[in-house]
Structure 1
């Protein structure tokens, strides 16, 4: 009887078809090996190693001491927090949103999921330039829509030509999702590239854009640009951001969107049925972050640029690996196909080999839509980065020798 009952129980088809986040899976494996006593350098997670700024900690302490932020918060976020975010969008991005066009969520990941659920469903298509952040495609599949991947090469700086993106748009396309600066490649779209992409979008009246700008403060040359600031694009773009990367507050889980009011209202409906409002104390911290002088973030890009250069120089000693030169974020995405063998057949095998033989955790590229690559996060100290690239070079040299 127990056997019969157990055989009748099963997971939903949606979850059964869903893949586990490659970044979180590798991070968990890294934690397990460390707990077992292994010396592991973790370059798998995109998590800043710096401490949060003092004003963020002070805002949290003040919010706790005030004793007035312990009740259920509004689903969309506190009005003064949304007003502060709207002002930040205007000041930093040239995006003229009202507070009613802003919503706060439990992290940028939830913010993106809310918008996808609000805009697409079964039979729809969503164009995603590849490589892409691991969750985009799975979030699209969750709705019953189909992700349409537009691939690129290292020689193209992992940025598909706009003509290739345009060719992927069909009458069923409802959404285009991209990040700039990009996770996992560190590539940055120029103003000219954004304008060319906007021209394509504006030729399709039923097409919306999700612009993931969580790495806006980590740009190594020039200023960050928002596609929503291009004439005609404000009403066609949902801009996503948060406090995790620039302010080293990944655990506080605050993301936010700005977009057309009808989209934000729909996303609010979705969030109201899933999680309700984001943590009240964390929202007070977010307000302090978006109100901070952007000049305070200028040093951040210098730190990550130095680390990028350190990693790229070290990877020159790795036989056969080829790299682009990231212009933002804190990732490098080397092409590692030269290391594939009869035993190491793909990037997942290679990542596991490096974890077990070199004690370095990376993320395989297949989940990013870049199967011949691995993603390296340089959001850690110079000393650990130097140690990691030396270990990688030694392990890959040994692999090639055998």
Structure 2
């Protein structure tokens, strides 16, 4: 028998970043001491209040189904957080869904607004899963290529060039993976004006909102006039609270969209894990100090990483404004992104993510994560320094 595979998979590749992780694991099993700077996982342990609350819930027998929307305590905590920190007001009973991961929230959001044949604009370079998710839904991700020359800023002019009669939504990620760019108010206002003009839904990924540098403040698109009724805000706990393995996120927005999204949740994953949701309440209400400490450490790691990159002949790297990635320009080495990444792996046993994995505009760049520990970063810096001593550009 030759099983039939659904046509929707024909244009969807496996995750490039997941594939890199598997490569690292294989090399380590073979005895290679690889230093991995390709992933997006904080090395910190989850804050103690979060762990304690989840353990208490487990020991108390809180191991059953919850309402599909989420437990009331977490729904209220999310709504309170959005109101006080983001200037976004939603009804916790109708405007929020707690999901098993922000990735699931994003997929649910796209499923809610896209039909087969629809288009969604994705500014690039962008996280690898945005186009793949659209493809799995039978929709098409239309890349809007941004330029490093202006710091990967998102302009209405770039967006207008990509809109068609099939466009239904725009994905926005701030702070952005992989570029580290953070939206400012002028950009945000242009985005909202564009969405209003073309009657589009804004799907806004804010997973890195708490990882900002140099005094920057996060701006939620849903807080701007005219945006709330057309914005689905995606967020979660993995990055800010070092809770990647917990798989906890949320989706917030206007009642009509959230009501439809709830059907996706009910007929797929049902609900997020009960005890994990209890940990989420603790994260939002009792872990601010831990988040601040992690952010300060990321800032120090940023300096270490960017300095090491710019010491390599032919490499330049702007300071990321947010998130924990350095997006380095390697065109001056005469190598392609893949060639540069392979040379780092072969000659220094350091893994980085080639820029083309992140779509249009990624060639000539590589992404390095400084979510790794200082020990790993220092080891990588030493290896890069030795490599630089024998580096021949051209």
- Is the shorter-chain TM-score for this pair beyond 0.5, marking a shared fold? yes
Q: Which ranges of structure 2 fall in alignment gaps of 5 or more residues? A: none
Shift of 1:19: 0.7
Superposed, which structure 2 residues align to 1:137-176 within 5 Å?
137-176=131-170
The aligned runs of 1:333-348 (5 Å cut-off) are: 333-341=327-335, 346-348=336-338
Aligned-residue offset at 1:300? 2.7
The residue aligned with 1:135 is 129
**Structure 2 equivalent of residue 400 of structure 1:** 392
Q: Secondary structure at the match of 1:268?
A: helix
Report if the CA contact (8 A) 1:22-1:364 is conserved. no
The residue aligned with 1:225 is 219
**1 CA distance for matches of 2:293 and 2:103?**
26
Q: String of CA shifts for 1:265-285, please: whole Å, max 9, x gaps.
A: 211111222221111111111
Name the TM-score, length of structure 2 as normaliser. Answer: 0.94
Please give the TM-score of this superposition, normalised by the length of structure 1. 0.92
Q: Distance in 2 between matches of 1:83 and 1:400?
A: 57
Shift of 1:393: 4.6
The residue number in structure 2 matching 1:96 is 89
1:352 aligns with 2:342: yes
Partner of 1:202: 196
1:265 counterpart = 2:277: no
Structure 1 residue 298: Cα displacement? 2.5
Shift in Å at residue 386 of structure 1? 2.6
Contact 1:339-1:396 within 8 A present in 2 as well? no
- The 10-residue stretch of structure 1 (112-121 or 267-276) with the greater mean CA deviation from structure 2: 267-276
Q: 2:305 aligns with which of 297, 307, 311?
A: 311
**Alignment match, 1:372:** 364
Give distance in 2, aligned partners of 1:156 and 1:394. Answer: 32
Q: Is the 8 A contact 1:127 1:149 kept in 2?
A: yes
Q: CA deviation at 1:241?
A: 0.8
- Structure 2 contact 125–179 (Cα < 8 Å) conserved: yes
Q: Does 1:80 align with 2:73?
A: yes
Q: SS in structure 2 opposite 1:112?
A: helix
- 1:384 matched to 2:369: no
Give the secondary structure class of the aligned counterpart of 2:186.
helix
CA distance in structure 2 between the aligned counterparts of 1:80 and 1:302, rounded to whole angstroms: 29
1:113-124 correspondence runs (5 A): 113-124=107-118
Report SS of the residue matched to 1:17.
Answer: coil
- How far is 1:357 from its partner? 2.3
Aligned residues: 390
Q: Which runs of 5+ in 1 are unaligned?
A: none
Cα RMSD over matched residues? 1.8
Q: CA deviation digits over 1:122-145, x for unaligned, max 9? A: 221111111111100110111111
- Once the two structures are superposed, residues 44-89 of structure 1 have per-residue CA deviations (whole angstroms, 9 ceiling, x without a partner) of 111111111111111111111111x211222221222212111111
Q: CA deviation at 1:28?
A: 1.0
The corresponding residue for 1:215 is 208
Give the aligned partner of residue 362 of structure 1. 352
- Deviation of 1:295 (Å): 5.3
Aligned residue for 1:333, secondary structure, equals: strand
Distance across 2 between alignment mates of 1:349 and 1:269:
45
**C-alpha spacing 1:395/1:13, structure 2 compared with 1 (3 Å):** farther
Residue 246 (structure 2) aligns with: 252
Give the alignment partner of residue 179 of structure 2, picking from 185, 190, 197: 185
SS at match of 1:241: strand
Distance (Å, rounded) in 2 between the aligned partners of 1:317 and 1:55? 41
Answer yes or no: is the 8 Å Cα contact 1:234–1:259 preserved in 2: yes
Q: Is the 8 A contact 2:315 2:331 kept in 1?
A: yes
Aligned-partner Cα distance in 2 for 1:160–1:222: 17
